[in-house]
Amino acid sequence: MGEGRQVGKGTRVRALICTLIGIVIAAYVLFPFYLVLLNAFKNQASIVANPISFVGTSFAQLRTNLSSVVNNTNFSFWYAFGTSAVITIISLVLLAVLGAMAAWVISRNNRKKWSVVIYMIFIASMIIPFQVVMLPLISTFRDVGKFVGINMLQSVPGIVFAYCGFGGAMTVFILAGFIKGVPYDLEEAAAIDGCSPEGTFFRIILPLLKPVITTVTILNGMWIWNDYLLPSLMLGQNGKVKTLPVAVQAFVGSYVKQWDLILTAALLAILPMIIIFLIAQKQIMNGMIEGAVKG
């Protein structure tokens, strides 16, 4: 009895210490977020005077900061936010549908040589770093665009096209892995009932893919929303069309050390992602894990 109680006490003390350590680390991890939030409520002078204290915070100042950032023509927050959202959503839908279609064809023909070759090329391409294709990509897009009369560089469709190309390999890889596990009998039964192959895919296979499509959508979404290099190269630093990361970069470049503006802009830039995370915390974390474990 006595010993049992002692062990219980020991574990409780250990749990308490662990919790304390956890809190300290959480404070460290969240500290920069706290600083961004806090200093968005201050003017430049009080930020520089003391960036940690509450002195100088006011809602009036937050409103001033917000309006000077949102109305800034170098930043054009709403426009950049809208462009980012449109690019991300269209790319995600296309990647999910086109990726599932391609993955289905590849995994249902996995005994045929052409299918194996395509699959292998997709897998091998995942190691290709963006740096090695970025320069020729820009010139190819520019030349092809000029030749056929479609603007591929400073345009939303051009970027969506590029994201479908870059995200395709990983999407197909994860989806094909899942489709292999879907019993073929289902499709045979549908075929006997007179369902066409495309009907079978859209009515039977696609609904079954819902969980794994969520996974690839989260993985692609995190990457596309935050991506800086591809849009900055394709759209240009100060081009007409810009995504949120490109806009932040351009904004900070023109307001060096104006921390009241920079931190408010940072707050606006991270807010959408944090809100989405708070809503779909579990799905996002599970999606990230599955993507890593399967990739």
Partner 1 sequence: MNSVANKLLSPILLIAGAAMVIISLIMDFAGSGSSLRGPMLVIGILVFFAGLYLFPTQKHHRKIVYVIFLFPLLFTFAVTVIIPLVLGICYSFTDWTGIRFNSVVGLTNYMTMFKDPAFIWSILITFIFVVLNMVLINLVGFLLALLCTSGIKGGGFFRASYFLPNLIGGIVLGYIWQFVFNNVIIDMTDNISWLARSKTALFAIVVVYIWQYAGYIMLIYITGLTQIPGDVLEAAKIDGANPAQTLFKVKIPMIASTITICTFLTLTSAFKQFDVNMALTNGAGSVANFMGNYLSNGTQMLALNIYNTAISKNNYALGQAKAVFFFIILAVVSLIQVRVSNKKEVEL
User: How many residues of this chain interact with partner 1, rule: CB under 8 A?
Assistant: 90
Which residues ranging from 66 to 95 are in contact with partner 1 (CB under 8 A)?
A: none
State which residue, 170 or 241, has the beta carbon closest to partner 1: 170
- DSSP class per residue in 251-281: HHHHSTT-HHHHHHHHHHHHHHHHHHHHHSH
Of 88, 220, 259, 264, which one interacts with partner 1 (CB under 8 A)? 259
**Residue 283 touching partner 1 (CB under 8 A):** no
Give yes or no for residue 195 binding partner 1 (CB under 8 A). no
Question: Which tokens in the block code for residue 221?
Answer: 């979404």
Q: What residue type is assigned to position 20 of the chain?
A: L
Considering only residues 123 to 142 of the shown chain, the ones binding partner 1 according to CB under 8 A are 125, 127-140
Q: Tell me which residues in 197-216 interact with partner 1 (CB under 8 A).
A: 197-198, 201
If one asks whether residue 170 binds partner 1 (CB under 8 A), the answer comes out as: no
Find out whether 187 and 162 touch, Cβ atoms under 8 Å.
no
- 150 binds partner 1, rule: CB under 8 A: yes
Q: Report d(CA 251, CA 211) in Å as an integer.
A: 38
Binding status of residue 186 toward partner 1 by CB under 8 A = no
Site for partner 1 in 219-238 (CB under 8 A): 222, 225-229, 233
The DSSP element (H or E) to which 190 belongs, if any, is helix 184-192
Contacts (CB under 8 A) with partner 1, residues 44-63: 47-48, 51-52
What SS3 string covers 278-293?
Answer: HHCHHHHHHHHHHHHH
Q: How many CA atoms lie within 13 A of 34 on its CB side?
A: 10
Residue of 53, 238, 254, 281 that binds partner 1 (CB under 8 A):
281
CB of 229 to partner 1, least distance (A): 6
Structure tokens at 230: 């591809």
